[in-house]
Amino acid sequence: MRFGRIVIIVIATIVAIVSVGFVVGGGAMIWAFGTERDADGFFTSPDYPLATDGYALTSTDVDLATSPGEWFPDGLVDVRFDVTAGGDAPVFVGIGPSSDVAGYLDGVAIDQVSDFGPEESDVSYETVTGTVPAATPAAQDFWVASAAGTGMQTLTWDVAAGSWTVVVMNADASPGVLVTAEAGAQVEGFLAIAIAVLLFGLLLAGLAALLLVLATRSRVTDESKAAAIAPEAYPVVLEGSIDPGLSRWMWLVKWFLAIPHFVVLAFLWIAFSVLTVAAFFAILFTGRYPRAIFDFNVGVMRWSWRVSYYAFSALATDQYPPFTLRDVEYPARFDVAYPERLSRGLVLVKWWLLAIPHYLIVGVLTSGLVWWAAEVGGDAALRVGGGLIGILVLVAAIALTFTGRYPPGLFDLIMGLNRWVYRVGAYASLMRDEYPPFRLDMGGDDPGVVAELPPGSPPGGDVKPREPVLSRS
């Protein structure tokens, strides 16, 4: 795949991700417009109990377009505060310029409400010590909106540009304020805005689809028809074969039996990560992946593939994986053709930017799904899940348990998905410059090109085309 097409695919993926945000956001806004407003058309918060031993409860500063060049359209948003006193004493609620409020309450004992949580009781305060206010709040002339009296007091304000503070006090400026407060907001033209957001998201999605079509379409000429029929070889090979006579029940304990491998692999992958960073700089300055590092890193991926094939990502063999980096006789094999030269420019972007489309796919294949979730006391939650590969392997294991046979078609699909993951892993680990194909090469045999190595040879041997080493039982 040409570099230009790769760039277009990356751009299309980014546009698609942005479009999802707009589509989901617009859809949620339309849903909220129809279900979450009260009779007066306001979106409201929960009723929060607020209390202070001081003389006032204040909000943090609400800064709306006070910097040069900023603007805030009048009449766009209306806010409403419903404040109910906890006793029979009159209550005062007002909104005023932050500078004037700060001057009025300078040196006064107050509590500033710094944060509201999702639950009614989740309120955080910042306490300021001080003395008694010089006058009652109603005596001040800077309030842009205010309400005072017994029972529930409602303040409605047409939001304007500026820095504002909300203040709740006892009307006589006495200490010990206890109220229940609810906030609401009404946005002019909210439904039209929601529809526009949704349509914009759909437009972006269409643009992303068009870019993907343009980037992935191919022209098939008479000379290229044969090549178009057969998949192009890729220099990362992953293969596997089903053991005859697989145990019906052993898959239940393979993950436990593989714990020694997991411990060793944890240290090997730490070394893999450090050496990959070293390889990055070597490629950047020399254009070559150091052969010793390459052989080691391929060996780590090979070891990982054998263990995962045995324990969880295929469950197609009962043979215990060997503790070795070398390519030995085993029903699961992996290799990468050693590149003589690598691009110094691609090494800067391929492992993060260019691989983004594949990362999204690999995330779904390996860990992007939750099968089941339940609350386990308080805010704790128990989630059981995994990717598409995990789901398919579980289905295959259940079929094996009840029929004594591993479904061959399901095995072919699982192998294709694992092959996709490992090709991306090799590309992201800087081992190859060839962009991984958006193609599902199913089956135990891999059509790729890899070193022809006899069992026991060092990993990462010389490259030459060959027929697949393994055949599926």
| 118 or 290, which is more confident | 290
- Rounded to an integer, the average pLDDT of 441-465 is 57
pLDDT of residue 206: 82
Strands 110-116 and 56-59: parallel
CA gap 310, 246 in Å, rounded: 11
Written as six digits, the tokens of 462 are 């010389």
Q: Which residue has the tokens 């199913």?
A: 442
pLDDT of residue 460: 45
pLDDT of residue 463: 40
SS3 letters across the chain: CCHHHHHHHHHHHHHHHHHHHHHHHHHHHHHHHHHCECCCCCEECCCEEEEECCCEEEECCEEECCCCCCCCCCCCEEEEEEEEECCCCCEEEEEEEHHHHHHHCCCECEEEEEEECCCCCCEEEEEECCECCCCCHHHCCCCCEEEEECCEEEEEEECCCEEEEEEEEECCCCCCEEEEEEEEEEECCHHHHHHHHHHHHHHHHHHHHHHHHHHHCCCCCHHHHHHHHCCCCCCEEEEECCCCCCCCCHHHCHHHHCHHHHHHHHHHHHHHHHHHHHHHHHHHHHCCCCHHHHHHHHHHHHHHHHHHHHHCCCCCCCCCCCCCCCECCCCEEEEECCCCCCCCCHHHCHHHHHCHHHHHHHHHHHCCEEEEEEECCCCCEEEEEECHHHHHHHHHHHHHHHHCCCCHHHHHHHHHHHHHHHHHHHHHCCCCCCCCCCCCCCCCCCCCCEECCCCCECCCCCEECCCCCCCCC
Written as six digits, the tokens of 101 are 């409020």
pLDDT of residue 224: 45
pTM for the full predicted model: 0.58
pLDDT of residue 388: 87
CA gap 33, 36 in Å, rounded: 6
Query: For the chain, what is the mean pLDDT?
Result: 83
CA gap 454, 128 in Å, rounded: 77
Highest mean pLDDT among 52-61, 231-240, 318-327: 318-327
Question: Where does residue 294 rank: exposed (0-12), middle (13-18), buried (19+ CB within 10 A)?
Answer: buried
Q: How confident is the model at residue 214 (pLDDT cuts 50, 70, 90)?
A: confident
pLDDT of residue 90: 93
pLDDT of residue 456: 46
pLDDT of residue 89: 84
By mean pLDDT, which of 224-228, 238-242, 244-248, 432-436 is the weakest? 224-228
- Rounded to an integer, the average pLDDT of 133-155 is 92
Dihedral (Cα; 454, 264, 310, 368), 10-degree rounding:
-120
By mean pLDDT, which of 21-25, 93-97, 342-346, 466-470 is the weakest? 466-470
pLDDT at 76 over 70: yes
% the chain with pLDDT above 90: 51
The identity of residue 96, as a single letter, is G
- Residue 105 contacts by C-beta under 8 Å, 6 or more apart in sequence? 55, 56, 58, 133, 167
- Rounded to an integer, the average pLDDT of 109-138 is 84
Beta bridge partners of 184: 44, 80
Q: How confident is the model at residue 33 (pLDDT cuts 50, 70, 90)?
A: confident
pLDDT of residue 2: 57
pLDDT at 103 over 90: yes
pLDDT of residue 55: 93
Written as six digits, the tokens of 127 are 């306490």
Q: How confident is the model at residue 465 (pLDDT cuts 50, 70, 90)?
A: very low
- Rounded to an integer, the average pLDDT of 24-50 is 87
pLDDT of residue 211: 78
pLDDT of residue 109: 93
- Rounded to an integer, the average pLDDT of 287-302 is 96
pLDDT of residue 467: 43
pLDDT at 453 over 50: no
pLDDT in tens, 55-75: 999 987 665 544 444 555 566
pLDDT in tens, 165-184: 999 999 999 999 999 989 88
CA gap 345, 349 in Å, rounded: 7
- Residue 76 contacts by C-beta under 8 Å, 6 or more apart in sequence? 159, 187, 188
Residue environment code for 201-214, b if the CB has 16+ CB neighbours within 10 A, otherwise e: beebbebbeebbee
- Rounded to an integer, the average pLDDT of 316-334 is 96
Highest mean pLDDT among 213-217, 256-260, 357-361, 447-451: 256-260
pLDDT of residue 73: 59
- Rounded to an integer, the average pLDDT of 260-265 is 96
Q: Which residue has the tokens 């070559």?
A: 288
